Structure 1
Amino acid sequence: MKSIRVVFARSYSKASIISRNKKPNPLLSNSTLTSDRKSSHHPTTPARTRFAPSPTGFLHLGSLRTALYNYLLAKNTGGQFLLRIEDTDRTRLVETAEENIYSTLKWCGLMIDEGPNEGGPYGPYRQSERREIYKKYADLLLERGLAYKCYCSKERLLELRESAKKLKPPTNVTYDRKCLTSQHERDEHEYVIRFKSPEKYDQFEDVLHGTLNLQPQYNQQDRRYDDFVIVKADGMPTYHFANVVDDHLMKITHVVRGEEWLPSTPKHIALYKAFGWRAPKFIHIPLLTSLQDKKLSKRSGDLNIYSLKEKGVLPEALVNFVALFGWAPVRENPGESVSEVMDLQEIVSQFSIDHLTKGNAKVSDSKLNYLNKEHFLRKLNRPEEFNKLVESYYPVFTEFTHGKYNKEYFTKVVKIVGPHIGSMSEIEQNHMYIFQEVAYSKDKIPSEHTIEIISQVVNDEALEFNSLFKRIMKDSEITRKEIFTSLRFAITGGSSGLSVHEYLELVGEQEFRNRLQQALDFLN
């Protein structure tokens, strides 16, 4: 529970956290999970899950992980995956953010069953279009005396917050319920609606963390209340209110979201109870951190998904990478080898919430690079996927080669260069010598004598490398390694990766002879 305690440190006392679960064994890694758990929390009936992003920016790794886990749970159980746009904060909306959400999910293969564009029986699926629905349920709480109108000014609320900090002990809830008992204002004045919170929040069950009992810290001499706002002055709902109403009306069975929402869950449970509704199952997944165990943010590693796409990361690799942030395929038997390289359908078939882990998930670039190369190699060996790969990247190839080469040649390049790279973007980054004159460098100069001898032999006979090497080594004291180094310098300028045979197959015999001469000219 260590990571949870850190999350709650500003809002809840350590003593308020209770869990029936044992601490996870730090020696047990994700990849050593086995299937011998005594009880299962994984649903046996179709789950309805939702991804509910706010369109205030582009999707990042953390939000993609939330979407993916909701998708996996729904699809593994034969259920539905919903997209709901939480756009009630009108001041922070980014014009192209919703388009980015759709584009990213589609690129990653996460198909939406119900949403703003897809429709569905429980729409509309944009919160800004559900204002009258929220009003109906807010009025219901007002009628029952479970909510009340608050007319306090921003200045007064700020004074209450500041005074709460100075109390001993300080309290992290600040409102004094003045507007619950006072009738000093009239309804035509601007107001917000507050929920009348219970004296004590109910403990609740989290599938991953067990039983949790999270209570605010009060100062009993100057009692304040956790009467949070459910409807803002502009008539729009807050997140706490809208997500509860929507999840109930949309028949959501499981809510998978980040651990940072755990402190808010008692509020949500209280709202469900006030309406007499059954709450969904909650699954709060761990934070994403760097290898130095620092929380990822937009400024430190939580990358915009499309920036990864532009770097040549394959969607299959990215989905595989993100799926392993707190989950791993199960081993049926201890010691059994299990591959972590999986496409989306393979992950869906193996996914279970029983195999989620509590510890923070560390984001490693090297792991992403490894998975990207593995998925790239898979595509090279699957004709249909290989052809799609060529089709998708050919326009980029045409652009950086200025239309000099046709698709047939590009296909040949991918077949030969492909096994040596981890992404299509590496063709442009590391192998431009294939398409343009070699940029020789003095830093990589091999033996001029060796190149001269190679050039003489090449000009005397047809290119057959085995006999070529034998003759050179017989007639001189040059080693096989020196020959290869010199040839690589002549053909590529010194770039490593491909074999000399592969270089020759790509550039052709005449171009090979030309480059030998160009290398000699450079050396002279």
Structure 2
Amino acid sequence: MVRVRTLHTSRCSLNSSKMQLHTKFTLRRKSAQKEEVSTDSKTPARTRFAPSPTGFLHLGSLRTALYNYLLARATGGQFLLRLEDTDQKRLVTGAEENIYDTLNWLGIKIDEGPTVGGAYGPYRQSDRSEIYTRYINELLDKGLAYRCFCSKSRLDGLRDSAKLLKPPTTVSYDRHCLKVYTKEESAAKAAQGEEFTVRFLSPDKYQEFNDLLHGNVNWQPQVNPFDKRFEDPVLLKSDGLPTYHFANVVDDHLMKITHVIRGEEWLASTPKHIALYEAFEWRKPKFVHIPLLTTVDNKKLSKRTGDIDIMSLKRQGYLPEALINFAVLFGWAPKRAQGEKSNEIYSMDFLEKHFNLDGLTVGNAKVDFQKLNYFNKHYLQQKLQDPEFLDRASADIYAKLNQDRGITQEYVKKVLVKTGSSLTTLDSVFDESFKFYFERPTYTRKGLENVLKPGEYGVVKLLAEQTDFTDLKALIPRIMAVYPDITKKNIYQTIRYAISAGQPGTKLPDMIELLGNEEVIARLNSLKEIL
């Protein structure tokens, strides 16, 4: 039996049994048409990532780009970058460059796009106006689109009145300009310079379609049977630029896109897009609408709750390998053979070979930044084994330090080698747990009391008189000979407190090796001064 989930686009009470709620949004699980879900890995997929340069790339954008890229790579296809920049008022300075820089840093390679060209360009929508005009005219000639000369105030009034209907409707236009003006009159008004938009003549009923993740989807706009309004989406804005609904259909067709992988928020718009494919008699691509990203407490992810741009995460010390591994698991996991151990570490090389749409999941994907820390720590340990990476990393850390203290880049490199297994990011060396390697800690009586009793403070003075801390096994008996009641643990803790103010993590012998005898003795003398 097929399980059906029905969602209504708005909630309302029906005051009369004669009134029908005409909105229908049904998702049939992919088991309904399982044969259509699997991707034939022998058929190359042409996919695209089509961001709008109205902001910097964030985790949601990364996931979308990554899934499209990996499907293309796994099937031996092509991955395109297309800039949807027709909303000129919202463009952000530097956003386009941010897209290129971010994808390049992450290792997501573009086969066709604004910076590399290709056979189906231009790849920036603002450069494709002549193409859109040609196809708008085709729809106008066929009678499948019409010009709308309505003022903003009239449209606002229609929208407000639609909300007051019982039941309210989610569509508001009354097709005034279609009913009032003939084709010839409409063309004449446009020729005289009157401002207009172009609307699509939407069908009475949208087609049911198949989504490779959700299965069969049947979406119909909510209408009021006594005051029928129409969706008729705007295809061309009054400034002559296309809307997303129109441009993405034209571009995907002309660029021969086979699979459209995008966020679930576009699921309700897909029937409009399919209606446009039908109007042009074009073959539609396969659609995959991936789940929303939420926080661990199931709230929609936003910039306020961590959905920050990728290059900001780079500046915080996160590695591209960690971010790729982190993002790919937002709703995907490879199929495991029976008895195979669970694994969450996936390199880009593995993903390019094994990514498959069958691994996608339907439910919202929870973003846990603790998991990002886990991945980054794993990859950082690996990369610190690479001499070239270690050189670059130590140079970056060294440049941020106060070099008046006599610290060298070689010393920084040794610190990274010794502490690498404890670092979450490279910048973790500046955290409280590690900064004692670069500056002497601050001591307090209270802190020392956690290690020694007041009557045992002479241990600090005795330790400060020692000359060699490299052989702790030999040193401990000498201290215990003078203070027989004190334990080995107390002596170790006292030395650790003098070195780091008690910070845990790094092994004590490694601390002593990095700092050297002279610095250890100097810190014990500093500690002695507070007694």
TM-score, normalization by structure 2? 0.90
When the two structures are aligned, how many residues end up with a matched partner? 506
Counterpart of 1:33?
none
Counterpart of 2:413?
411
C-alpha separation between the residues in 2 aligned to 1:395 and 1:82? 34
Cα offset, 1:413, TM superposition: 1.2
Change in Cα spacing, 1:394 to 1:118, as seen in structure 2 (3 Å) is same
SS in 2 for 1:299: helix
Counterpart of 1:390?
391
C-alpha separation between the residues in 2 aligned to 1:436 and 1:444? 18
Change in Cα spacing, 1:451 to 1:443, as seen in structure 2 (3 Å) is closer
Q: Is the CA contact 1:291–1:363 (under 8 Å) kept in the aligned structure 2?
A: yes
SS in 1 for 2:307: coil
Amino acid at match of 2:357: I
Q: Is the CA contact 2:390–2:413 (under 8 Å) kept in the aligned structure 1?
A: no
Change in Cα spacing, 1:153 to 1:42, as seen in structure 2 (3 Å) is same
Cα offset, 1:210, TM superposition: 0.3
Cα offset, 1:299, TM superposition: 2.3
C-alpha separation between the residues in 2 aligned to 1:18 and 1:329? 24
C-alpha separation between the residues in 1 aligned to 2:69 and 2:374? 24
Change in Cα spacing, 1:506 to 1:451, as seen in structure 2 (3 Å) is farther
Cα offset, 1:443, TM superposition: 4.2
Q: Mapping of 1:114-129 within 5 angstroms?
A: 114-129=112-127
Change in Cα spacing, 1:127 to 1:378, as seen in structure 2 (3 Å) is same
SS in 1 for 2:490: helix
Q: Is the CA contact 1:457–1:468 (under 8 Å) kept in the aligned structure 2?
A: no
Counterpart of 2:441?
438
C-alpha separation between the residues in 1 aligned to 2:225 and 2:63? 41
SS in 2 for 1:211: strand
Q: Is the CA contact 1:329–1:340 (under 8 Å) kept in the aligned structure 2?
A: no
Counterpart of 1:361?
365
Cα offset, 1:362, TM superposition: 0.4
Q: Is the CA contact 2:460–2:528 (under 8 Å) kept in the aligned structure 1?
A: no
Q: Does 1:374 align with 2:378?
A: yes
Counterpart of 2:26?
17
| Unaligned stretches of 5+ residues in structure 1 | 24-36
C-alpha separation between the residues in 2 aligned to 1:443 and 1:141? 81
Change in Cα spacing, 1:349 to 1:474, as seen in structure 2 (3 Å) is farther
Q: Does 1:41 align with 2:47?
A: no
Q: 1:253-280 CA distances to partner (integer Å, 9 max, x unpaired)? A: 1111000000000000000011111111
C-alpha separation between the residues in 2 aligned to 1:331 and 1:8? 37
Change in Cα spacing, 1:202 to 1:3, as seen in structure 2 (3 Å) is closer
Counterpart of 1:26?
none
Q: 1:141-177 CA distances to partner (integer Å, 9 max, x unpaired)? A: 0011110111001111111111111112211111111
Q: Is the CA contact 2:294–2:365 (under 8 Å) kept in the aligned structure 1?
A: yes
Q: Is the CA contact 2:9–2:222 (under 8 Å) kept in the aligned structure 1?
A: no
Amino acid at match of 2:425: S
C-alpha separation between the residues in 1 aligned to 2:494 and 2:239? 74
Change in Cα spacing, 1:20 to 1:517, as seen in structure 2 (3 Å) is closer
Amino acid at match of 1:436: E
Counterpart of 2:247?
242
Q: Is the CA contact 1:3–1:360 (under 8 Å) kept in the aligned structure 2?
A: no
SS in 1 for 2:47: strand
Counterpart of 1:517?
525
Counterpart of 1:472?
479
SS in 1 for 2:221: coil
Pairing partner for 2:237 from 232, 237, 240: 232
180-189 vs 207-216, which moves further: 180-189
Q: Is the CA contact 2:27–2:214 (under 8 Å) kept in the aligned structure 1?
A: no
C-alpha separation between the residues in 1 aligned to 2:299 and 2:29? 27
Q: Is the CA contact 1:7–1:260 (under 8 Å) kept in the aligned structure 2?
A: no
C-alpha separation between the residues in 2 aligned to 1:378 and 1:13? 57
Change in Cα spacing, 1:243 to 1:442, as seen in structure 2 (3 Å) is farther
Amino acid at match of 1:283: V
448-457 vs 314-323, which moves further: 448-457
Cα offset, 1:217, TM superposition: 1.1
Counterpart of 1:459?
465
SS in 2 for 1:508: helix
Counterpart of 1:191?
196
State the superposition RMSD in angstroms: 2.4
Counterpart of 1:344?
348
Cα offset, 1:402, TM superposition: 2.9
Q: Does 1:488 align with 2:507?
A: no
Cα offset, 1:401, TM superposition: 3.0
Q: 1:227-260 CA distances to partner (integer Å, 9 max, x unpaired)? A: 0100000100000000000001111111110000
Counterpart of 2:259?
254
Cα offset, 1:3, TM superposition: 13
Q: Is the CA contact 1:400–1:428 (under 8 Å) kept in the aligned structure 2?
A: no
Q: Mapping of 1:92-111 within 5 angstroms?
A: 92-111=90-109
Q: Is the CA contact 2:171–2:230 (under 8 Å) kept in the aligned structure 1?
A: yes
SS in 2 for 1:213: strand
Q: 1:480-507 CA distances to partner (integer Å, 9 max, x unpaired)? A: 2212221111011222211110111111
Q: Does 1:322 align with 2:333?
A: no
Change in Cα spacing, 1:460 to 1:20, as seen in structure 2 (3 Å) is closer
Amino acid at match of 2:502: G
C-alpha separation between the residues in 2 aligned to 1:278 and 1:54? 25
Q: Is the CA contact 1:258–1:284 (under 8 Å) kept in the aligned structure 2?
A: yes
Cα offset, 1:418, TM superposition: 0.9
Change in Cα spacing, 1:18 to 1:438, as seen in structure 2 (3 Å) is closer
SS in 2 for 1:50: strand
Pairing partner for 1:83 from 77, 81, 84: 81
TM-score, normalization by structure 1? 0.91
The sequence identity of aligned pairs, in percent, is 49
Q: Is the CA contact 2:397–2:412 (under 8 Å) kept in the aligned structure 1?
A: no
Change in Cα spacing, 1:150 to 1:411, as seen in structure 2 (3 Å) is same
